[in-house]
Amino acid sequence: MLSVLRLRRLIRQVPLQTSFIFLFLLCILSVFLSSYFLYAVKRKLEPSLTAGHSADDLYVTPSRPLPFLSGVGGTLSSDGTRTDPVVLVFVESPYSQLGQEIVAILEAARFRYRTEISPGKGDMPTLTDGQRGHFVLIIYENILKYVNMDAWNRELLDRYCIEFGVGMIGFFKANENSLLSAQLKGFPLFLHSNLGLKDCTVNPKSPLLHITRARQVFSGPLPGDDWTIFQSNHSTYEPVLLAKTRSAESTGLMHTSVVQDLGLHDGIQRVLFGHNLSFWLHKLVFVDALSFLTAKRLSLSLKRFILVDIDDIFVGKEGTRMKVADVKALVETQNELRRSIPDFTFNLGFSGKFFHAGTDEEDQGDDLLLSYVDEFWWFPHMWSHMQPHRFHNQSVLAEQMMLNRRFAEDHSIPTHLGYAVAPHHSGVYPVHIQLYEAWKRVWDIRVTSTEEYPHLKPARFRRGFIHRGIRVLPRQTCGLFTHTIFHKDYPGGPQELERIIDGGELFLTVLLNPDPCEDKRHKDIWSKEKTCDRFPKLLLIGPQKTGATALYLFLGMHPDLSSNCPSKETFEEIQFFSGHNYHRGIDWYMEYFPLPSNSSSDYYFEKSASYFDSDVAAVRAAALLPRARIITVLSDPVERAYAWYQHQRAHGDPVALKYSFHDVIKASHNAPVKLQVLQKRCLAPGWYATHLSRWLQHYHHDQILVVDGQTLKTDPATVMQKIQTFLGLENQVDYHKILAFDPKKGFWCQLLDGGRTKCLGKSKGQRYPDMDKQSQVFLRSYYRDANIQLSKLLYKTAQVLPGWLREDLLNIR
Choice from 549, 750, 775, 791 touching ligand A3P (CB under 6 A): 549
SS (H, E, C) 366-399: HHHHHHCHHHCEEEECCCCCCCHHHCCCHHHHHH
CB-wise, 294 or 546, nearer to ligand A3P? 546
Asked if residue 545 binds ligand A3P (CB under 6 A), the reply is yes
* Catalytic residue set: 545
Which region, judged by CB under 6 A, interacts with ligand A3P, from 220-228, 441-449, 542-550, 789-797?
Answer: 542-550
Distances 359 to 319, 327, 356, 591 between C-alpha atoms, Å:
7, 15, 8, 49
DSSP tag of 801: P
Residue 766 interacts with ligand A3P (CB under 6 A): yes or no: yes
Distance CA 699, CA 679 (A): 30
**Cβ closest to ligand A3P, residue 399 vs residue 742:** 742
Is residue 748 annotated as involved in ligand binding? yes
User: CB under 8 Å to 694, separation ≥6 — which residues?
Assistant: 615, 618
Q: Is the CB of residue 89 less than 8 Å from the CB of residue 102?
A: yes
- In DSSP terms, 520 is beta-bridged to none
Q: Is 550 in the site for ligand A3P (CB under 6 A)?
A: yes
Q: How far is the CB of 804 from ligand A3P (least distance, A)?
A: 13
Where is 218: in which H helix or E strand? Answer: strand 217-221
Helix (H) or strand (E) holding 331: helix 324-340
Number of residues that bind ligand A3P (CB under 6 A): 18
Between CA 235 and CA 219 the distance in angstroms is 29
Q: Answer whether 286's CB lies under 8 Å from 277's CB.
A: yes
113 known member of a binding site: no
**Which is closer to ligand A3P, CB of 395 or CB of 766?**
766
Among 747, 782, 783, 804, binds ligand A3P (CB under 6 A): 747
Q: Phi, psi (5° rounding) for residue 592?
A: -80, -5
Rounded CA gap, 88 and 111, in Å? 11
Site string for ligand A3P, 693-712 (x = CB under 6 A): -------------------x
Pair 169, 260: CB distance under 8 Å: no
Q: How far is the CB of 650 from ligand A3P (least distance, A)?
A: 8
Closer residue to ligand A3P, CB minimum distance, 568 or 767: 767
Nearest to ligand A3P of 522, 545 (CB atom): 545
Q: Starting from the edge strand earliest in sequence, which strands make up the sheet with 447-449, in order?
A: 447-449, 470-473, 465-467
The residue within the footprint of ligand A3P, chosen from 764, 778, 786, 800 (CB under 6 A), is 764
Stretch that binds ligand A3P, among 201-209, 342-350, 547-555, 595-603 (CB under 6 A): 547-555
Computed over its alpha carbons, how large is the radius of gyration of the chain? 36
| Segment holding 554, helix H or strand E | helix 548-556
Identity of the residue, 426 or 546, whose beta carbon is nearer to ligand A3P in the bound complex: 546
* Surface-to-core class of residue 153, CB atoms within 10 Å of its CB (0-12 exposed, 13-18 middle, 19+ buried): middle
Q: Does 441 sit near ligand A3P (CB under 6 A)?
A: no
Angle, CA 387 vertex, CA 383 and CA 393 arms, to 5°:
85
Q: Is 578 an interacting residue with respect to ligand A3P (CB under 6 A)?
A: no
- Asked if 624 and 514 touch (Cβ cutoff 8 Å), the reply is no
362's CB contacts (< 8 A; 6+ apart) are: 318, 321, 322, 323
8 Å CB contact between 131 and 160: no
Least Å distance between CB 748 and ligand A3P? Answer: 4
Is 335 one of the binding residues for ligand A3P (CB under 6 A)? no
Stretch that binds ligand A3P, among 19-27, 362-370, 504-512, 544-552 (CB under 6 A): 544-552
Q: Are 183 and 50 in contact (CB under 8 A)?
A: yes
For ligand A3P, which is the closer residue by CB, 637 or 765? 765
Q: Does 314 bind ligand A3P (CB under 6 A)?
A: no
Question: Taking CB under 6 A as the rule, does residue 638 contact ligand A3P?
Answer: no
Percent helix / strand / coil, the chain, rounded to 5: 40, 15, 45
Q: What is the smallest separation between the CB atom of 648 and ligand A3P, expressed in angstroms?
A: 11
Judged by beta carbon, residue 91 or residue 548, the one nearer ligand A3P is 548
Asked whether residue 767 is marked as a ligand-binding residue, the answer is yes
Q: Which residues face 470 on adjacent strands?
A: 467
Q: Which range of residues in 178-186, 191-199, 757-765, 795-803 is near ligand A3P by CB under 6 A?
A: 757-765
Phi, psi torsion values for 603, nearest 5 degrees = -95, 95
Shortest Å distance, C-beta 755 to ligand A3P: 17
- 583-588-590 Cα angle (round to 5): 125
Work out the burial of residue 557: count CB atoms within 10 Å of its CB; fewer than 13 is exposed, 13-18 middle, 19 or more buried.
Answer: middle
The correct pick among 765, 771, 779, 790 for binding ligand A3P (CB under 6 A) is: 765
Question: Among 149, 157, 259, 609, which residue interacts with ligand A3P (rule: CB under 6 A)?
Answer: 609
By CB under 6 A, the residues from 645 to 664 that bind ligand A3P are 646
CB of 544 to ligand A3P, least distance (A): 5
643 counts as binding ligand A3P under rule CB under 6 A: yes
Q: Which stretch binds ligand A3P (CB under 6 A): 282-290, 492-500, 575-583, 763-771?
A: 763-771
The yes or no reply on residue 713 touching ligand A3P (CB under 6 A) is: yes
Shortest gap between Cβ of 546 and ligand A3P (angstroms)? 5
- Considering the complex, what minimum distance in angstroms separates the CB of residue 633 from ligand A3P? 7
CA neighbor of 277 nearest in space, from 509, 506, 504, 510: 504
Decide: is 760 part of the binding site for ligand A3P (CB under 6 A).
yes
Interacting span for ligand A3P (CB under 6 A) from 205-213, 242-250, 485-493, 758-766: 758-766
Q: Which is nearer to ligand A3P, 509 or 608 (CB)?
A: 608
Residue 159 CB partners (closer than 8 Å, separation 6+): 66, 68
C-beta of 473 vs 760, nearer to ligand A3P: 760
Alpha-carbon distance of 69 to 110, in angstroms, equals 34
Which residue type sits at 129?
D
Q: Does 640 bind ligand A3P (CB under 6 A)?
A: no
- Closest CB to ligand A3P among residues 612, 783: 612
Q: Which residue is nearest to ligand A3P (CB)?
A: 549
Residue 747 CB, nearest distance to ligand A3P (Å)?
3
* DSSP line for 191-258: EEEEE-EEEEEE-TT-TT-SSS-SS-EEEEEPS-S-EEEEE--STTEEEEEEEEETTS-TTPPPEEEE
How many residues in total does the chain contain?
813
Mark 502-541 with x for binding to ligand A3P (rule: CB under 6 A) and - for no binding.
Answer: ----------------------------------------
Based on the shown chain and the rule CB under 6 A, indicate whether residue 691 belongs to the binding site for ligand A3P.
Answer: no
Q: What are phi and psi of 219, to 5 degrees?
A: -95, 145
Give the phi and the psi of residue 544 in degrees, each rounded to 5: -65, 145
Q: How far is the CB of 94 from ligand A3P (least distance, A)?
A: 45
Residue stretches of the annotated binding site: 748, 764-768
Binding site for 3'-phosphoadenylyl sulfate, by residue number, is 748, 764-768
Q: What residue ranges bind ligand A3P (CB under 6 A)?
A: 544-550, 609, 643, 646, 712-713, 747-748, 760, 764-766
